[in-house]
Amino acid sequence: MTTTLLAQPFTRAIVAPPGPSFAHGLTTRALGAPALDLALAQHARYCEALGRAGLEVTVLPADPEHPDATFVEDTAVVAAGLAVLCRPGAASRRGEVARMRDVLGPRFAGLASIEPPGTLDGGDVCQVGRHFFVGLSARTDAEGARQLARALERAGYTASTIDVRDWPDALHLKSAVAWLGGARLLVREAQALEPAFAPFERVIVPTREAYAANCLWLGRTVLVAADHPVTEARLRALGYAVEPLAMTEMEKMDGGLSCLSLRY
């Protein structure tokens, strides 16, 4: 597996702006309440960056009933020829999935779903080529991971699990790792020696910049949370065009760059 910087991994993205109840969403952070106007501005710039990278962006209406609904990635796992509706680990988020069923149904034949008692958040699913790492976390359990693995295998993919429950400050697997194309991962310093990552080239995110690990590889361009200069420099040295984006209001609500879109 080689790392091809110019390969565009996605052509489409689905997003939803923060709604009026955004500040009432779930969070483990103690960074204060988000400002909705600033969150909306940051989300708009995120959508513009996706467009500049060549993606066709579908913007859904804000969902006033579900404070966390802007983090659409947690509602489904999508890949070429595959879409699986999640069953989020937080009960308050399960109502978000119905809308995503309506959105993805016309786009993917044979839409699958994670069924009770399994739970699965999309933020725990990291695609690396034809393989998927699935994090076992406070939101994703072993049954949810098994159901996803079966759906992936039917579509010609492989899957394996990584227990992230003891990883500090990692709500999801993708809080700590991101695919950068080919055989290259961006990994938090604390998880650099994770055995599952041993076959890969690892670009290390220093502990003081841990939030930057949730980046978004879009071919030559990598979107990175702003104000993480060491991580930005390491990516640029590898030939990526780095686009820093302010994410302060999303970080307050446990959200990152990948959380804000479903890409396929």
Q: What 8-state DSSP symbol labels residue 79?
A: E
pLDDT in tens, 164-194: 999 999 999 999 999 999 999 999 999 999 9
Residue with token string 């044979």: 110
Q: What pLDDT is recorded for position 93?
A: 98
Give the model's confidence band at 84: pLDDT under 50 very low, under 70 low, under 90 confident, else very high.
very high
State the catalytic residues.
172, 259
pTM over 0.75: yes
Neighbours of 24 (CB within 10 A): 14
Using alpha carbons, select from 132, 173, 171 the residue that is nearest to residue 26: 171
Report the pLDDT value the prediction gives residue 58, as an integer from 0 to 100: 98
Q: What is the pLDDT of residue 5?
A: 57
- Domain residue ranges in the chain: 12-263
The amino acid present at 70, given as its one-letter code, is T
Specify the length of the chain in residues: 264
Instruction: Please determine, for residue 4, whether its predicted confidence score (pLDDT) is greater than 60.
Output: no
Distances (CA, A) of 139 to 16, 73, 74, 122, 128: 21, 13, 10, 10, 21
Residue 2 has what pLDDT?
Answer: 45
What confidence score (pLDDT) does residue 260 get?
Answer: 98
Considering the segment(s) 12-263 as one domain, its CATH architecture is 5-stranded Propeller (3.75)
Mean local confidence (pLDDT), 219-246? 98
Model pLDDT, residue 6: 55
- Residues of the chain above pLDDT 90, percent: 96
Q: How confident is the model at residue 7 (pLDDT cuts 50, 70, 90)?
A: confident
Alpha helices in 208-259 (DSSP H): 229-237, 248-251
117 cis-preceded (ω within 30 degrees of 0): yes
pLDDT at 218: 97
Q: Which helix (H) or strand (E) holds 263?
A: strand 262-263
